Amino acid sequence: MLRVAGGHDDVPPEIWPALRAGVPASVPGCVHTDLLAAALIADPYLDQNEHELKWIGRCDWKYSTTFGTPEREADRVDLVCGGLDTFATVEVNGTLVGTTRNMHRSYRIPVQDVLAGDANELVVTFASAVLRSRELRDTVGDLPRPVEILPEPYQFARKMACNFGWDWGPELVTAGIWKLIQVHAWSVARFDKVRPIISVAGTTGMVRVEVELERAGAPHDVELTASVGGSQQTITIPGAETTGEIELEVDHADLWWPHGMGAQARYELTLTLETETGLLDTWARQIGFRTIELDTAADDGGSAFTLIVNDRPIFGRGANWIPDDCFPTRVSSDRYRRRLEQARDANVNLLRVWGGGLYETDDFYEACDELGILVWQDFPFACAAYPEELLADEVEAEARENIVRLMPHPSLALWNGNNENIWGWHDWGWQEQLEDRPWGLGLYVDLLPALLAEIDPTRPYWPGSPYSGSMDVAPNADEHGCTHLWDVWNERDYTAYRDHVPRFVAEFGYQAPPTWTTLTRAVHDNPLTPDSAGILSHQKADDGHAKLTRGLATHFRAPVTTEDWHFATQLNQARAITLGVEHFRSHRGQCMGAIVWQLNDCWPAISWSAIDSAGRQKPMWYALRRAYADRMLTIQPDQDGLAAVAVNDGDASWHGTLRVERRSFAGDLLADWKSQLSVRRDSTSTFRLPPNLTTPGEPARELLVADVGGMRTTWFFCPDKDLDYPAPSYDIDFRRDGDDALMRVCARTLLRDVAIFVDRLDAHASVDDMLVTLLPGEERTIRIHNGARLPAERLRQTPVFRCANDLNSGT
């Protein structure tokens, strides 16, 4: 049962009696989800409801239930709290048994001395994280953070920072029992920590298993058995000891690889703990044999930042991951799997779990293991100076727990100390505000790397993102470390990505609204316009709409309708990300990674995401899939001309004939050129194009088309707004294929960036391709998943059928 335990004056009077009496509570869950289930609050994701619900985060809340005493005799009975969000007191039968102040860790509390038969009362009371954070701030003084968008002192709580709002998320400050809470009775000994330290020597996979036990009752010798891949060992741990170690070897072990580079081989590692009287405890995880290194060596270009997997340097084709819902318990294992499959299908091989969110659930990392997606894991610190003196003990406890929890996962590739805090110290005016106060650096350069060296020395660590590798060098220096490129979105046109050749860009992005269905299910403004109140409520970026407008103005004519604005901004986002990714990849070797901001959304926002909060893929997703393909062909500026660049991240060499043509929009061949292409694995080849190709007669009516064996890319000589596009003309053939439909588009004119927005007709329908460019006489068949019953005539019409051409005519 959930009750309000102390409140704010803004609690709506009509629901106060219900909150005092109590409403059913779900565990795992949080206050918001329970109040939603009880129909006491409106959905905070809809319209402007978020702003009316801030009172929830300013109240204290009490969860209560009853439970029985375990039937079997036991030396210990523990209350095991998987996750309490955040400032909690725990009482059993009226006795205080524990207090917590950290969302990111678990708690095990002995309760055998306070149990009372079959009717034990458990009460967990949560203090307001908003008010408690303010109190902690007042004890030591405020510290820098982006106050203009995040006024609450979130950095004083070890809690998911983006609960307090972000430039893509609402302020919904949660409280609750967000992971399982259980009663565990046990005797003699149990596994406290299991640390599998995994390595590879030649063809042999090796596991050193370090075990820490917790004991209770009289001391007993125990037998520890470990097995993996047909190898098994047993040791005896004497009754006075609490640690043990076993080494195992697997001959001819199959390696775990990121997808596209090999199989994701995994082996089950199992442990048992026994005495002569029987089994005490078990532990089992799927592990993978692979090596991981981070090369940061100095070179002629500065210093590298390259991930090396199984001795093979990889280009990180990445995306940033944020919590997939403001209320994390709503993210099921199936939802994690779907989202991560979408990442893999977009050719993403690296996800960065961003530092304003969470250490994700086991479901997330297990899916990454299975799908072959590397994980860059931030420790949860973001965009603020942190009070080391208040948090050091809690940070150490949470880090120890999560390092141990995540170390079996082969997908976990890199630990990172924080998000943008070192940047803040260098460039956001913090030094003057802080004077000589600690601000978190000791956590990032001393505590966290020391813990990893002690617990899991097999994985690389980097103190922050962005970070150059030295506090004496600007954190966003292109020549060193990892950078964040936000000058483009905030200040410049996206063509300015070409001004940077970073060693590794860990954040860059461009905004667009969610899909039309997601947007209109969340916002019910009438009329719905780009600047209507509900739309603006879902735009959290500082001056975000003005930046969208500025970005459009460089490339497109001003949108005439809301539908045009929606399509134009989505298309501009896709173009920006394509340009950035293709530029960075064309410099493979100097640049070895690009992590786009961001893969996913936590609510229906106008944001930088490729996939909206309903799981629908924006045009950017299709663009990202194409730009992140193992083999990529692109045309890039080269000195005073143009070059074709072929990038090969595949497993084999790439051979073929490169053909480049200059054509008129009417399809006439004006010039052509060809060359034999041969690109080794993990390399690029650049072909400087001759002037007869790169010098158009009529720039507004011509384009370049480059092709290798059916892989094609284009180059237009002017921004869309200056192009003399023909009015789009096409034929469409539609036929059913089971539950799907096949839609054949035959171009009578040039059609640039064809997009079929089938969600406007059926929320469950989707397409297998988007942003297809067709020359006159060409055709493309697009599969519409769950599209068999769609009205064929509607598919031919705007705003379902769109292409860049019609933005110039205002249709």
**What mean pLDDT do residues 534-549 have?**
97
CATH number at residue 738: 2.60.40.10
Whether 206 and 170 share a structural domain: no
Q: Using the predicted structure, report yes or no on whether residue 669 has a pLDDT greater than 90.
A: yes
pLDDT, residue 399, reads 98
Q: How many residues does the chain have?
A: 811
Whether 42 and 168 share a structural domain: yes
d(CA 14, CA 133): 29
Structural domain contains residue 695: yes
Which residues are bridge partners to 556 per DSSP?
none
What band does 731 get if pLDDT is binned at 50, 70 and 90? very high
Is 158 strand, coil or helix? strand
Last residue of a domain, one of 722, 751, 779: 722
d(CA 639, CA 173): 51
pLDDT, residue 294, reads 98
| Percent over 70 (pLDDT), the chain | 100
pLDDT, residue 809, reads 67
What band does 72 get if pLDDT is binned at 50, 70 and 90? confident
Q: Using the predicted structure, report yes or no on whether residue 801 has a pLDDT greater than 60.
A: yes
Number of structural domains found in the chain: 4
What band does 6 get if pLDDT is binned at 50, 70 and 90? confident
Phi-psi region of 125 (alpha: psi -120 to 50; beta: other; left: phi over 0): beta
Residue with tokens 């390092």: 403
Which residues are bridge partners to 153 per DSSP?
none
Whether 58 and 131 share a structural domain: yes
pLDDT, residue 264, reads 98
Q: Please name the amino acid found at residue 38.
A: A
Q: What are 35-55's pLDDT values in tens digits?
A: 999 999 999 999 999 999 999
CATH number at residue 70: 2.60.120.260
Say how far residue 319 (Cα) sits from the centre of its chain.
6
Structural domain contains residue 321: no
Angle at 608 between CA 606 and CA 611, to 5 degrees: 85
Average pLDDT, rounded, for the chain: 97
Whether 195 and 61 share a structural domain: no
- In 680-763, alpha helices (H): 691-694
What is the helix (H) or strand (E) element at residue 77, kind and residue range?
A: strand 76-81
Whether 20 and 110 share a structural domain: yes
Look at residues 30, 134, 131, 35 and name the one whose alpha carbon lies nearest to residue 85: 30
Is 465 strand, coil or helix? strand
Q: What are 743-792's pLDDT values in tens digits?
A: 999 999 999 999 999 999 999 999 999 999 999 999 999 999 999 999 99
Structural domain contains residue 491: no
Whether 237 and 192 share a structural domain: yes
For the sheet with 243-250, list strands across it: 189-201, 204-215, 243-250
Q: Are 60 and 40 in contact, with CB atoms under 8 Å apart?
A: no
Q: What are 90-132's pLDDT values in tens digits?
A: 999 999 999 999 999 999 999 999 999 889 999 999 999 999 9
Is 773 strand, coil or helix? strand
Whether 779 and 743 share a structural domain: yes
pLDDT, residue 71, reads 81
Last residue of a domain, one of 287, 316, 349: 287
pLDDT, residue 390, reads 95
Structural domain contains residue 478: no
Q: Are 361 and 406 in contact, with CB atoms under 8 Å apart?
A: no
What's the maximum distance between 2 C-alpha atoms anywhere in the chain?
91
What band does 203 get if pLDDT is binned at 50, 70 and 90? very high
Tell how many helices (H) and how many strands (E) occur in the chain: 19, 44
Tokens in use for 353? 């779990």
Look at residues 319, 594, 304, 595 and name the one whose alpha carbon lies nearest to residue 469: 304
Structural domain contains residue 764: yes
pLDDT, residue 9, reads 80
Alpha carbon of 313 to those of 307, 591, 708: distances in Å?
A: 6, 12, 25
pLDDT, residue 709, reads 95
Whether 228 and 166 share a structural domain: no
Q: Using the predicted structure, report yes or no on whether residue 8 has a pLDDT greater than 80.
A: no
Tokens in use for 210? 């370090």
Structural domain contains residue 687: yes
Tokens in use for 468? 């150059």
**What mean pLDDT do residues 331-343 have?**
98
Whether 87 and 230 share a structural domain: no
Cα dihedral 298, 303, 307, 311 in deg (nearest 10) = -20
Please list, in sequence order, all residues whose beta carbon lies within 8 angstroms of the beta carbon of residue 588, skipping any fewer than 6 positions away: 315, 647, 649, 682, 683, 684
**What mean pLDDT do residues 126-154 have?**
96
Whether 792 and 717 share a structural domain: no
pLDDT, residue 811, reads 43
Alpha carbon of 654 to those of 257, 682, 785, 789: distances in Å?
A: 21, 10, 32, 42
Q: Please name the amino acid found at residue 174.
A: T
What is the helix (H) or strand (E) element at residue 369, kind and residue range?
A: helix 362-371
Whether 84 and 229 share a structural domain: no
Please list, in sequence order, all residues whose beta carbon lies within 8 angstroms of the beta carbon of residue 394, skipping any fewer than 6 positions away: 101, 102, 105, 158
Last residue of a domain, one of 692, 722, 752: 722
Structural domain contains residue 445: no
What is the helix (H) or strand (E) element at residue 63, kind and residue range?
A: strand 60-67
Domain boundaries, position 739: 730-809
d(CA 582, CA 217): 63
Structural domain contains residue 228: yes
Q: Please name the amino acid found at residue 419.
A: N
d(CA 232, CA 246): 9
**What mean pLDDT do residues 9-20 have?**
91
Look at residues 270, 269, 268, 267 and name the one whose alpha carbon lies nearest to residue 255: 267
Query: DSSP characters for 588-645?
Result: BTTB-EEEES-S--SSS-SBS-SB-TTSPBPHHHHHHHHHTSSEEEEEEEETTEEEEE
Please list, in sequence order, all residues whose beta carbon lies within 8 angstroms of the beta carbon of residue 654, skipping any fewer than 6 positions away: 631, 646, 648, 677, 678, 679, 708
| Percent over 90 (pLDDT), the chain | 97
What band does 360 get if pLDDT is binned at 50, 70 and 90? very high
Whether 232 and 259 share a structural domain: yes
Tokens in use for 345? 């299908």
Alpha carbon of 70 to those of 27, 75, 97, 217: distances in Å?
A: 20, 12, 18, 17
d(CA 289, CA 564): 51
